[in-house]
Amino acid sequence: MTDTDPLDVIDHYGPEKVVFVSDARTGMRGVLVIDNTSRGTGKGGTRMAANVTFSDVARLARVMTWKWAVVDLFLGGAKAGIAWDPNRPDKEAVLRSFVRRLHNEVPEEYVFGLDMGLQESDAAIILDELGDRGGAVGTPQSLGGLPYDQLGITGLGVAEATAEAAAVMGINLAKSSVSIQGFGAVGMATARRLSELGATIVAVSTSEGVLYQPEGIDVGKMLELQSHVGDRCVAEYVGGAVLTQNAELTVAADILIPAAIQDVVDVTTARGVKARLVVEGANLPITAEADSILKERNVTIVPDIVANAGGVIAAAYAMDARYSPFRVDPETVYAAVSSRIRQQTAAILRDAHETGSTPRIAARNLARSRVEAAMRARGVPRWD
């Protein structure tokens, strides 16, 4: 797991704390990275994947620091990762072992959330292991939780960011074509909402391939297929063509939404992107080198720390409700996500235009200014 020396990733912002854990009985290996808590308790999802690395977790923890700050919510950046295949039958034992090893940090310094490889039932297991309702969010409604993946809140936010960016850029969303990488919880909710707003979804992808239909995919039909056959929905759909993996990134479309994993848009892919607008539904989907190429090609990017922040806004509501006997109203959360995401998207696009920078730089500068203000208020010395 330690593909990078932890000391090499430390800068003025963090990480404040890195905890490596293991269990010889189950084979569990994991890490918790608490990046920066100047604005509040560390909060970020826990990822379970066979190939997860410390570098992955550290990068995602920093994304969370910026994400909380850019939407102006008072929580800190953190992330956890477990190097394990979530499809193995001993997943629960490994997850319980990981949670037990972090009893010193949870919930005072870190609150569990859901990321790739974990779902609502896993959040329930985390609470059962902790014996504390305050240790995790994303739990089932039967436990008083706000299941934001099931409700599609992150995807709703991505769609709202897309709609707002299109409006700022003078793009008619109702006459626009959209390609979405990933048809999981985020991609499905994004497709559903953009379809409701009048956009034409021309491509979606799963682990089984890419469905491409230039005249428009029947999103309702795809959603129904996905619920029955999962990733095979691209092959089971009648109509359109099935293309090879990653073709969705370069098909003819006005808008591209990478909503799967990090680093999928590299230098080669960036040169082939045909979209005018790219909205980062996933965290870190575009490499730094590819980002520069897209900038040179005048492609506008709505960065992850804004575009997919719907999940963190929902998590903030869930955090606030952890000890409350009342359920959070999903409609209240939907409204808050739409409002905050649209406001911040418009603000960073305006700032980028006025300063001649990029939306990513504008968003990072906004986040940094808020984190630095909190750090200084806590007595951290000024720095250049």
Count the Cβ atoms, other than its own, within 10 Å of residue 297.
11
How far apart are the C-alpha atoms of 96 and 364, rounded to whole Å? 35
Give the whole-angstrom CA distance, residue 71 versus residue 381. Answer: 25
Question: By three-state DSSP, how is residue 18 classified?
Answer: strand
Q: What tokens appear for 272 in the block?
A: 């082939």
> Which of 156, 106, 162, 123 has its CA nearest to residue 276?
162
- Please tell me whether the peptide bond between 15 and the residue prior to it is cis, using omega within 30 degrees of 0: yes
Active-site annotation holds for 91? no
Strands lying side by side in the sheet with 177-181? 241-243, 209-212, 200-206, 177-181, 255-258, 277-279, 300-302
What's the start-to-end Cα distance of the chain, in Å? 33
The residue annotated as part of the active site, out of 17, 43, 67, 79, is: 79
Q: Are 257 and 248 in contact (CB under 8 A)?
A: no
Exposure on the CB side of residue 67, measured as CA atoms within 13 A: 35
CB 65 within 8 A of CB 50: no
Sign of the alpha-carbon torsion through 178, 189, 120, 99: positive
Place of tokens 């477990």: 82
CA distances from 206 to 104, 175, 374 (A): 38, 25, 41
By annotation, the residues acting in catalysis are 79
